[in-house]
A and B are shown apart, each in its own frame.
Chain A
Amino acid sequence: MSDRQKSVWPPPATNIAGKLGLVKFKPDDDSHLRVIDREVCRNLCPQKFCTHSCPAQVYRWEVEEQVISIAFEGCLECGTCRSGGCPFGNLEMRYPRGGFGIQYRFG
């Protein structure tokens, strides 16, 4: 493992909670996003790539529980997480049920 891989991950540089507050969501009860194998996050991924690659900051590394938490309610449904945002392919994404999820007024 390289030095870079071993280094402590930096937290995301910009907090986008304010940006997400502008978007309309209709959250479903259940998450349409899922971590496949928690061990991969714990043992193989010091960078916690998803916490940086997701443009909605849906994924957060909870240091105490040592898990990735998923704020699916704010998902922009872009598909980044399933298509390379996690280099380990450890995130499963479906679209939310019809009528749920993000609603763009401008788009």
Chain B
Amino acid sequence: MSAHQIKSGSEPVPRPEPPRFEAIVVGGGPAGLAAAYTMAGAGMKVALIERGDWCGSKNMMGGLIFTDPTDQVVPEFWKEAPLERFITRRDLWICTNDAAIKGSYESEDFAAEPHNAFSVFRSRFDKWLAEKAKARGAYIITETLVEELIQENGRVTGVRTGRPQGELEADVVILAEGVNTFLTEKAGLGPGMKPEYLALAVKEVLSLPREKIEDRFNLEGDEGAAIEAAGEITAGLPGTGFIYTNRDTISIGIGVMLKDMVNRVGEAYTLLERFKQQPQVRRLIAGASAREYAAHLIPEGGLHNMPRLCSDGVLVAGDAAGMVNAVHTEGANLALLSGQMAAETVIRCRDKGDYSARALNHYCDLLESSLIMKDLREYQDVAPFLSSHPHLFGLYPEVLSAAFRELLTVDSLSKADKHRLILRLIRAQIPVRRMMKDVYEIWRTLG
């Protein structure tokens, strides 16, 4: 079934048939690349279509990748992949405007290969992974925007790109377009990401000589530190800040729930500026020069905000599928794993010669029995809970900080009087009943 072009005064010229692949992947991020890499490894004819100049050029993350899930998709990736530092210390800071209560875990275990987590840059890591997929035979088509999924009788049969004669056909399309689900929505798979479930993160990359980084963060060699901060740094809005050490740069950013920010007529970059000026943060980045600024949306609704993942001729993976566990800053690993599962499903379909909707549904079965759905189910109430309990980010850090300050200040109060004062201080701001209610609700939300 080919379209004909009529040239004036001549015979109709038959249009070439659209190129045909066994599978097309839309999007060159972790999910799409994991899918293309896996399918190419099984000898499938697969095309990955990316709108940026290279895979990664329009991607952004905090960010950390985790060894185990990444190793599952690209075995022993750490030997070749462009990685910054391996993380040996993770901090959690509860901040007020001028104080921080810090919890830190540091382990020699994390210092030993293959390590647990690495700081990375998406633009570089994804570029590398795309080369790996290409080396296996995947067609990586860049600078091309997919504008529409082609559907026939409700079945997805290919994609239409912005290029002239830009249609490509495939048995299956894996949709890994990221958080802005243009194609997912157009294809009727989902209503799109709702603002109450989206976080806006802004980030800067600051350069600092590596000796200074190692000195200030107390690191040896290629060790790295990761700091997550919460509290008044997000001006009473639910959200977190992060600081990750790279080789000779620091990634520093802050994320807030989009709806909260809009309601308060707030600005994400203003929060970032304030975070950078927080006394405990300022000294870590003093003298650093800014190299890049980035912004990105994170779909944090989990189960509340997911499109249909399996449909006729199409599977949805990664951020486009809303697979993010915000509490644990896990999004990229879930994307990688879901991309791999989508690929495994397609390989299975190819082997059986069955690409029906029922056969593709195997993807959903794989997801259900994997940590992806289990974790999303476990944490499904967290985002709404945090949004409806903003005092956890404002009041609690303030009270906790005041309690610590009182405890650690040596003055003329007897210890007994001091303890009484601290308890009165806490109870005045957070009545016992409310505290117990909060504890109970936190337990219910996570349990």
CB contact list, A73-107 vs B, under 8 A:
76-80, 82-85, 87, 93-99, 101-107
CB neighbours (8 Å) of A85 from chain B are 258, 262
Is B195 part of the contact surface with A, judged by Cβ < 8 Å? yes
Are A76 and B295 neighbours in the complex by a CB distance under 8 Å? yes
Q: Smallest CB-CB separation from A57: which chain B residue?
A: B269
Asked if B205 is at the interface (CB within 8 A of a chain A CB), the reply is: yes
Report yes or no: B123 in contact with A104, Cβ–Cβ below 8 A: yes
* B122 & A107 in contact (Cβ 8 Å cutoff): yes
Chain B residue at minimum C-beta to C-beta distance from A85: B262
Q: Find chain B residues with CB under 8 A from A18 CB.
A: 290
A8 vs B181: C-alpha distance when bound (angstroms): 34
Closest chain A residue, CB of each to CB of B205: A106
Contact pick for B296, options A9, A78, A94, CB 8 Å: A78
Closest Cβ neighbor of B200 among chain A residues: A80
Q: Which of A36-44, A45-53, A59-67 contacts B (4 or more CB under 8 A)?
A: A45-53
| Cβ–Cβ < 8 Å partners of A10 in chain B | 265
- Say whether A56 faces chain B, with CB atoms less than 8 Å apart: yes
Interface of chain A, helix or strand or loop or mixed? loop
- Cβ-defined contact, B162 with A82, below 8 A: no
Residues of B in contact (CB 8 Å), total 55
Chain B residues contacting A49 (CB-CB under 8 Å) are 262, 265
How many A residues face the partner with a CB closer than 8 A?
A: 42
Q: Are B267 and A14 in contact (CB under 8 A)?
A: yes
Report whether A98 and B297 are in contact in the complex, using a CB–CB cutoff of 8 Å.
no
Contact B262 A14 (CB under 8 A): no
Chain B residues 96 to 141 lying within 8 A of chain A, measured CB to CB, are: 121-124, 126
The answer to whether A80 and B292 touch across the interface, beta carbons within 8 angstroms, is: no
**Min C-beta distance of A28 to chain B, whole Å:** 11
Known: A55-B269, A97-B162. A107 touches B60 (CB 8 A): yes
Of all chain B residues, which has the CB nearest A4?
B265
The reply to whether the CB of A71 lies closer than 8 angstroms to some CB of chain B is no
Known: A14-B269, A78-B200. A56 touches B295 (CB 8 A): yes
Check B89 for interface membership: any CB of A closer than 8 A.
Answer: no
Q: How far, in whole Å, are A107 and B205 apart by their CA atoms in the complex? A: 9
- Secondary structure class of chain B's binding surface, majority of residues: mixed
Q: Give the one of B52, B123, B145 with max A CB within 10 A.
A: B52
In the complex, the answer to whether B273 meets A79 with C-beta atoms within 8 Å is no
Is A6 located at the chain interface by the 8 A CB criterion? no
Given contacts A55-B200, A78-B296, A84-B198, A106 and B123 within 8 Å (CB-CB): yes
Q: How far is the CA of A80 from the CA of B259 in the complex (A)?
A: 10
The reply to whether B291 and A106 contact each other, CB–CB distance below 8 Å, is yes
- Please report the C-alpha to C-alpha distance between residue A9 and residue B152 in the assembled complex, in whole angstroms: 49
Residues of A within 8 A of B202 (CB): 55
CB of B180 within 8 A of CB of A9, answer no
On whether A99 and B53 interact (CB within 8 A), knowing A19-B269, A82-B180, A85-B262, the answer reads: yes
A13, B402: Cα distance in complex, Å: 29
Contacts of B163 in A (CB 8 A): 98
Is A70 close to B, CB under 8 A?
Answer: no
In the bound complex, residues from chain B placing their C-beta under 8 Å from that of A107 are 56-61, 121-124, 126, 294
> How many angstroms from the CA of A20 to the CA of B142 in the assembled complex?
24
- Which of chain B's residues has its CB closest to A56's CB? B295
List the A side residues contacting B61 at CB < 8 Å.
107
Q: Are the C-beta atoms of B195 and A84 separated by less than 8 Å? A: yes
Contacts A84-B259, A104-B59 given; does A79 touch B179 at CB 8 Å: yes
Give bound CA distance, A82 to B251, whole Å: 27
Known contacts A10-B265, A19-B204, A85-B258, A80 near B144 by CB under 8 Å? no
Which single member of A93, A95, A104 contacts B56 (CB below 8 Å)? A104
Q: Which residue of B lies closest to A94 (CB)?
A: B182
**Smallest Cβ-Cβ distance to B146: which chain A residue:** A98
- Alpha-carbon gap, A22 to B289, bound state (A): 11
For residue B326, CB closer than 8 A to chain A, the reply is: no
Asked whether B12 is an interface residue with its Cβ less than 8 Å from the other chain, the reply is no
A73 to chain B minimum Cβ distance, whole angstroms, is 15
Residues of A within 8 A of B205 (CB): 106
Given contacts A83-B180, A84-B262, A98-B162, contact A55 B144 (CB under 8 A): no
Contact call A95/B267, Cβ cutoff below 8 A: no
Contact yes or no, B294 A80, CB < 8 A: no
Q: List 6 A-B contacts (CB under 8 A).
A: A23-B294, A76-B293, A83-B258, A93-B180, A95-B51, A103-B58
Identify the B interface with A (CB < 8 A).
Answer: 51-53, 56-61, 121-124, 126, 142-145, 161-163, 179-180, 182, 192-196, 198, 200, 202, 204-205, 249, 251, 258-259, 261-262, 265-270, 273, 290-297
The 4 closest A-B pairs by CB, nearest first: A84-B195, A107-B123, A99-B143, A55-B295
Question: Which residues from chain A sit less than 8 Å from chain B, CB to CB?
Answer: 9-10, 12-14, 16, 18-20, 22-23, 26, 47, 49, 52-53, 55-56, 76-80, 82-85, 87, 93-99, 101-107
Q: Name 14 extra pairs, CB < 8 A, besides A84-B196, A98-B144.
A: A22-B290, A53-B267, A55-B269, A77-B180, A78-B295, A78-B297, A79-B180, A80-B295, A84-B259, A101-B52, A104-B294, A106-B121, A107-B123, A107-B294
